[in-house]
């Protein structure tokens, strides 16, 4: 596809000699990119275009501007061969190994990625996915408040990511849309059966390419309905990970940062210190070094803002900014 070629050329040029390989990842790599047909018959690419740049050891992280392709969000992740070897059993690692496409450089670069199966995915990773989607929904609310148009796909994506989290949490994750939907319908779990109608619509829309954008009118109601679905799944997963089925939602919000293991807590703070980003969280957060990780502190702030009525634009912008600079 021409846009993939354009983005690849920019990546290779901008990384220069630091680059070992460029891997296409995400929906484009799986052949599941969403393309919307406009009323005039022309096409609009809705999905993000995602790449992983594998760079030489000792030069990461590099601050490289993402390729500029009109009308398309392009993102670049970075890793070294050593980091690929150390990937844990996550949704990202499984998708990368099975569907990543090497477009430039060392064609065998994916051999460094461990051979994990979908059943090996850590339930904590499923919960992390849900928290990242919560931040994305906060970003969507900022668009709604600014009355900016956006693709209906951002609602469909929300429900599909809920499905991804549920399946991974139950160690039944599947990479491709048809497999995901089939696995979800086979769960027959009263915990998630209420999602059946919305999930079917979301997968149908992605398969067909829903043909319009959503404007401001009615968006908050639709956004709030998705939030309620997200809340029920989030609360269930938090209670399971904290091993306390009686935990109230408020208690779960307060306690869920404890989920992070001690080694991961220290690793997160060390990484933040190494990247000289500690000041982004403020010195007052140092007291949390033995309590949780920087990543989960940001998630806690995001959850606290997402699952409340009302909307504090300034606070949301701050937490989104921290997430983009530290977590994304």
Enter the DSSP assignment of 328: -
Q: How far apart are CA 267 and CA 263, in angstroms?
A: 6
In this structure, how many other beta carbons lie within 10 angstroms of the beta carbon of residue 302?
24
Q: Structural domains in the chain?
A: 2-116 (3.30.460.10), 123-327 (no CATH)
Q: How far apart are CA 115 and CA 262, in angstroms?
A: 26
The predicted pLDDT at position 38 comes to 74
The predicted pLDDT at position 141 comes to 94
Q: CB–CB of 46/205 below 8 Å?
A: no
Q: CB–CB of 258/242 below 8 Å?
A: yes
The predicted pLDDT at position 92 comes to 97
The predicted pLDDT at position 100 comes to 98
Q: CB–CB of 122/89 below 8 Å?
A: yes
Q: How far apart are CA 121 and CA 93, in angstroms?
A: 9
Mean pLDDT by 10 residues, the chain (328 residues): 91 92 96 82 84 85 78 90 95 97 97 96 96 96 89 90 97 96 92 90 83 67 94 97 96 96 89 82 71 94 94 96 91
The predicted pLDDT at position 240 comes to 97
Q: CB–CB of 161/27 below 8 Å?
A: no
Q: How far apart are CA 251 and CA 109, in angstroms?
A: 44
The predicted pLDDT at position 80 comes to 94
The predicted pLDDT at position 286 comes to 66
The predicted pLDDT at position 284 comes to 65
Vertex 106 angle, CA 101 and 111, to 5°: 70
Q: 């919305």: which residue's tokens?
A: 198
């Amino acid at each position: 596809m021409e846009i993939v070629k354009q983005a690849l050329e920019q990546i290779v040029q901008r990384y220069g000699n630091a680059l070992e390989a460029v891997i296409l990842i995400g929906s484009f790599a799986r052949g599941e990119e969403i393309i919307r047909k406009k009323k005039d018959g022309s096409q609009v690419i809705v999905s993000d275009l995602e790449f992983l740049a594998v760079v030489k050891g000792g030069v990461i992280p590099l601050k490289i501007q993402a390729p500029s392709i009109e009308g398309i969000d392009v993102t670049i992740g970075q890793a070294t061969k050593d980091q690929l070897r150390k990937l844990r059993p996550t949704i990202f690692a499984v998708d990368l190994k099975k569907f990543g496409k090497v477009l430039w450089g060392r064609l065998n670069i994916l051999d460094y990625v461990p051979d994990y199966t979908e059943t090996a995915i850590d339930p904590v990773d499923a919960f992390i996915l849900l928290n990242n989607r919560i931040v994305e929904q906060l970003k969507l609310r900022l668009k709604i408040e600014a009355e900016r148009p956006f693709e209906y796909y951002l609602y469909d994506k929300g429900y599909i990511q809920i499905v991804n989290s549920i399946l991974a949490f139950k160690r039944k994750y599947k990479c491709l849309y048809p497999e995901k939907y089939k696995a979800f319908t086979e769960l027959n779990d009263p915990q998630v059966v209420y999602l059946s109608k919305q999930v079917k619509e979301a997968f149908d829309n992605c398969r067909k390419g829903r043909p319009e954008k959503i404007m401001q009118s009615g968006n908050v109601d639709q956004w709030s309905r998705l939030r309620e679905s997200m809340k029920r799944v989030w609360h269930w997963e938090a209670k399971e990970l904290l091993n306390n089925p009686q935990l109230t939602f408020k208690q779960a919000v307060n306690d869920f940062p404890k989920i992070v293991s001690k080694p991961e807590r220290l690793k997160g703070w060390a990484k933040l210190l190494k990247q000289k980003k500690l000041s982004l969280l403020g010195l007052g957060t140092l007291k949390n070094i033995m309590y949780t990780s920087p990543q989960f502190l940001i998630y806690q702030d995001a959850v606290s803002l997402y699952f409340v009525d009302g909307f504090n634009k300034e606070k949301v912008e701050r937490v989104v900014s921290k997430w983009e600079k530290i977590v994304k």
